[in-house]
């Protein structure tokens, strides 16, 4: 292969890769997969829509931002078990912070951060029995807390 053909092939491959990566990032932006939690929740409130992510595991920060923007009177905090509670069950504003608490210390940390900007009238706590076992890891912060 001559040098000219090699350079053309090299530039073509790099250009195609750049286009693919740009396309993927544009697509992820359009479906709000890598936007900030603030932007996601603003869109969610405007469109009265649900949010589910395929790539982001930081439910902790998402639920904090949701409470910050919604300022509900009732909050349910706990593991996935409190996700069954719905706003329709209450005659006031409600947010489920289910999955934002995976240990007792993480729940305390969540409440400390939340109380800095909002104090709801009622907090329902869903506690899993194994959280009280002495050998269960009871971390306040998890690696996914740093995902923004």
pLDDT in tens, 17-52: 999 999 988 887 777 777 888 988 998 889 888 888
Q: Does 29 map to a domain?
A: no
Q: Does 4 map to a domain?
A: no
Indicate the helix (H) or strand (E) that contains 5.
helix 3-30
Q: Of all residues in the chain, what percent are helix, strand and coil, respectively (each to 5)?
A: 55, 10, 35
Q: Does 40 map to a domain?
A: no
Separation CA 72–CA 53 (nearest Å): 23
Q: Does 38 map to a domain?
A: no
Q: Does 17 map to a domain?
A: no
Q: Does 105 map to a domain?
A: yes
pLDDT at residue 145 tops 90? no
What's this model's pTM, rounded to 2 decimal places?
A: 0.79
Q: What is the structure's pLDDT at 138?
A: 85
Indicate the helix (H) or strand (E) that contains 45.
helix 37-47
Q: What is the structure's pLDDT at 30?
A: 78
Q: Does 13 map to a domain?
A: no
Tokens of 128: 């899993």
Number of domains in the chain: 1
**Containing structural domain, residue 133:** 57-146
Distances (CA, A) of 45 to 39, 42, 65, 74: 10, 5, 12, 17
Q: Does 51 map to a domain?
A: no
């Amino acid at each position: 292969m001559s040098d000219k053909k090699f350079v053309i092939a090299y530039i073509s491959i790099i250009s195609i890769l750049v286009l693919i990566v740009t396309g993927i990032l544009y697509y992820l932006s359009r479906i709000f997969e890598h936007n900030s939690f603030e932007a996601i929740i603003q869109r969610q409130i405007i469109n009265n829509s649900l949010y589910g992510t395929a790539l982001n595991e930081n439910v902790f920060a998402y639920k904090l931002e949701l409470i910050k923007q919604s300022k509900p009177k009732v909050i349910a905090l706990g593991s996935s078990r409190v996700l069954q509670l719905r706003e329709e069950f209450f005659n006031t504003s409600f947010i489920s912070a289910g999955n934002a608490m995976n240990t007792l210390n993480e729940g305390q940390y969540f409440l400390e951060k939340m109380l800095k900007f909002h104090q709801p009238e009622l907090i329902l706590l869903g506690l899993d029995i194994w959280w009280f076992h002495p050998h269960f890891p009871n971390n306040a912060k998890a690696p996914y807390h740093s995902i923004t």
